[in-house]
């Protein structure tokens, strides 16, 4: 009896400890962002923001160019994700619905491209962009991010397209739709959840991208939020409250998006992920 | 990517991408045989974009690696071909081999910790009741979703020399010498912080996907094993493990690739310092090429890094393609794909 109580207790206790370990850094970010400076620079850590303040968020938001950078990040990310979804839609349709010579090699191309070591290619990318005289511009960033998220978008979307029953499309065509109409009226609405889930990872990749903007856009007004955030602490002389507020502002959109979409995305990815 | 798979990936969040390439829903089998150019036309935009924005820089990277390209040549726009000298310089330098060895050890240690930790947590998730499982998954997802650069600043703050909470806890636990410890002052302690960060962001991907895998195992198999008198360990070895093995193989390879090329984690914590002692290959190529303005030499290092990655990837692709074949054969999808990032 006693043993079984212990047997039930230890998994729960371990889970609780692990939960705290995984959540703590995120919690500490918000906690620090909300505490007044006196509580941050204290010899004994203040574990809860008992006297919350939005001072640090004000410092972060009022930092030079903050809103320009927000606009840059949002533009680059949204345009890249939407363009790659559009391009991928055509490709994934071909891969999911048609049989043709070279289909497998095409899939292989996207699998290899998916693992492209962008981090290691920044020197060449710098030269290419410099020769095109496009340093400090958002256009090259957007184009590279589009291609960066494209392979995963194609590969993921192809499974969503394949999951839409073919009969639906065929009966729409029997009812007099053209193939294009059938696609727009029947398949597209069914694909919407797949498109959302697919865009999540593209969004995260583009929103987070750091090495490329680090080398391409030195101009303070042409940067994006990750670069700004990585320099924030130095720029603000160890103002940890403001740094954590800046980190929170940067993380919140992703955390919300992830919480909103993860059930769908993760379960979709996972359900196919494993099956021997 | 994440997971980035969730994968990711990754990008994972870059690097965090999803586990997915090959895998989402089961394709219904039937693909129509199409004659003519339609499928190729549909694929054309995607292939063209990839060729221009991925293929061309790769070729440029290769060409740069055969050039003597430093600040002078860069400003004057001259091209000086030097044959293989960038390569012979890299391959005969102690630094290159030291950094390569460091990258390999760094990758191995992290991947082992991530796979063991992720597997144990995934199995724990399967053992928990619904409420605790939801709680722990929520914590994992939060860590998984955290943007990399936000996470690096948070870790810098957690491990800050003054007022950092880690030092305070260690001092309270009786390690009084740790009260003002400078984590980014030494090679091993900097790597410790970087590894902790990487492990923290990577474990959720493995754990959650592995848990999802365990839910596909039929109860009857366990009952049959119990009837045969198998204990907990035996039924794990004979029932659970064979089911998880394909996923674990793929996840291991993905983690190896992601961690080997991880850049922001390593760079943003301490820019490869102190004294360039925590540079891994991607950071080394960046610092040599961009930081020290030896663009040609940096390009050669990055080509060598890409070759190592290609060797790792070819093995991974073999596994995935075999699963794709199986899918074509039985009409059901199998096999994980890729994450983040």
CB count, 10 Å around CB of B92?
9
Measured distance CA(B335)–CA(B318) in Å, rounded: 11
Mean pLDDT over the full length of chain A: 86
All domains in chain A, ordered by first residue? 56-270 (1.10.3720.10)
Measured distance CA(B47)–CA(B41) in Å, rounded: 10
Interchain contact, A90 vs B32, CB within 8 Å? no
Predicted TM-score of the model (pTM): 0.86
All domains in chain B, ordered by first residue? 85-330 (1.10.3720.10)
**Which residues of chain B neighbour A267 with C-beta distances below 8 Å?**
212
Segment B43-95, tens digit of pLDDT: 999 999 999 999 999 999 999 999 998 888 888 888 889 889 999 999 999 99
Mean pLDDT over the full length of chain B: 83
**Which residues of chain B neighbour A44 with C-beta distances below 8 Å?**
168
**Which residues of chain A neighbour B272 with C-beta distances below 8 Å?**
none
Put simply, the chain B residues between 297 and 336 with a CB less than 8 A from any chain A CB are 298-299, 302, 305-306, 309, 313, 316-317, 320-321, 324, 332-336
**Which residues of chain B neighbour A251 with C-beta distances below 8 Å?**
146-147, 150
Give the mutation candidate from A19, A69, A114, A233 for the B interface (greatest B CB count, under 10 A). A114
In this prediction, residue B333 carries a pLDDT of: 38
Instruction: Choose among B65, B277, B156: nearest CA to A28.
Output: B156
Measured distance CA(B260)–CA(B312) in Å, rounded: 10
One DSSP character per residue, B202-231 reads: HHHHHHHHHHHHHTTS-HHHHHHHHHTT--
* A101 to chain B, closest Cα gap in Å: 9
The partner residue sitting opposite A15, judged by closest CB among B61, B124, B243, is B124
| A69's tokens | 């950078």
Q: What is the mean pLDDT of residues B105-122?
A: 96
Measured distance CA(B220)–CA(B211) in Å, rounded: 18
In this prediction, residue B12 carries a pLDDT of: 36
Interchain contact, A122 vs B286, CB within 8 Å? yes
* A121 to chain B, closest Cα gap in Å: 7
Interchain contact, A272 vs B23, CB within 8 Å? yes
| B253's tokens | 């390879």
Measured distance CA(B209)–CA(B114) in Å, rounded: 13
Interchain contact, B142 vs A152, CB within 8 Å? no
Interchain contact, B4 vs A204, CB within 8 Å? yes
Segment B222-275, tens digit of pLDDT: 888 888 888 888 888 888 888 888 888 888 988 999 999 999 999 998 888 888
């Amino acid at each position: 009896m006693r043993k079984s109580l212990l047997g039930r207790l230890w998994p729960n206790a371990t889970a609780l400890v692990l939960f705290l370990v995984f959540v703590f850094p995120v919690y500490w970010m918000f906690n620090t962002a909300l505490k007044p400076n006196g509580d941050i620079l204290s010899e004994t850590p203040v574990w809860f923001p008992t006297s919350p303040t939005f001072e640090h968020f004000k410092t972060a938001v009022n930092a030079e160019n903050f809103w320009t950078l927000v606009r840059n990040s949002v533009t680059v990310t949204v345009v890249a994700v939407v363009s790659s979804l559009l391009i991928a839609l055509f490709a994934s349709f071909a891969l999911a619905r048609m049989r043709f010579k070279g289909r497998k090699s095409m899939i292989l191309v996207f699998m290899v491209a998916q693992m492209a070591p962008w981090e290691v290619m920044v020197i060449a990318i710098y030269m290419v962009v410099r020769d095109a005289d496009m340093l400090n511009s958002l256009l090259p960033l957007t184009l590279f991010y589009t291609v960066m998220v494209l392979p995963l978008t194609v590969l993921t979307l192809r499974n969503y397209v394949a999951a839409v029953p073919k009969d639906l499309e065929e009966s729409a065509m029997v009812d007099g739709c053209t193939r294009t109409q059938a696609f727009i009226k029947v398949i597209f609405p069914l694909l919407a959840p797949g498109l959302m889930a697919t865009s999540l990872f593209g969004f995260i990749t583009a929103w987070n991208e750091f090495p490329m903007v680090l080398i391409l856009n030195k101009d303070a007004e042409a940067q994006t939020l990750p670069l700004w955030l990585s320099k924030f602490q130095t720029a603000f002389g160890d103002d940890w409250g403001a740094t954590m507020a800046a980190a929170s502002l940067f993380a919140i959109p992703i955390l919300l998006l992830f919480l909103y979409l993860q059930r769908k995305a993760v379960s979709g990815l996972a359900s196919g992920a494993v099956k021997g | 990517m994440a997971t980035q798979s969730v994968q990711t990936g990754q990008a994972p969040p870059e690097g965090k991408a999803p586990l997915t390439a090959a895998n989402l829903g089961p394709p219904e089998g039937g693909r129509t045989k199409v004659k003519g150019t339609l499928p190729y036309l549909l694929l054309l935009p995607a292939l063209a974009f990839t060729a221009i924005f991925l293929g061309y820089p790769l070729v440029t990277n290769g060409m740069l690696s055969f050039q003597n390209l430093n600040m002078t040549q860069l400003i004057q726009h001259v091209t000086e071909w030097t044959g293989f000298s960038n390569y012979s310089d890299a391959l005969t330098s102690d630094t290159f081999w030291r950094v390569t060895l460091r990258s390999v050890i760094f990758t191995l240690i992290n991947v082992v910790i991530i796979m063991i930790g992720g597997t144990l947590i995934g199995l724990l998730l399967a053992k928990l009741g619904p409420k605790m499982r939801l709680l722990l998954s929520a914590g994992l997802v939060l860590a998984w979703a955290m943007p990399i650069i936000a996470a690096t600043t948070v870790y810098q703050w957690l491990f800050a020399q003054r007022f950092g909470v880690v030092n305070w806890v260690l001092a309270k636990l009786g390690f009084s010498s740790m009260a003002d410890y400078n984590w980014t002052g030494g090679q091993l302690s900097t790597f410790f912080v970087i590894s902790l960060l990487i492990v923290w962001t990577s474990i959720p991907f493995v754990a959650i996907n592995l848990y999802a895998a365990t839910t596909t195992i039929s109860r009857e198999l366990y009952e049959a094993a119990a009837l045969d008198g198998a204990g907990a360990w035996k039924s794990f070895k004979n029932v659970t493990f064979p089911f998880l093995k394909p996923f674990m193989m793929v996840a291991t390879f993905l983690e190896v690739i992601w961690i080997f090329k991880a850049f922001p984690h390593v760079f943003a914590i301490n820019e490869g310092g102190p004294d360039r002692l925590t540079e891994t290959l991607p950071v080394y190529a960046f610092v040599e090429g961009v930081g020290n303005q030896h663009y040609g030499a940096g390009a050669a290092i990055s080509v060598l890094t890409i070759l190592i990655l290609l060797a790792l990837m070819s093995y991974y692709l073999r596994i995935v393609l075999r699963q794709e074949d199986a899918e074509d054969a039985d009409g059901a999808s199998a096999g994980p794909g890729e994450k983040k990032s």
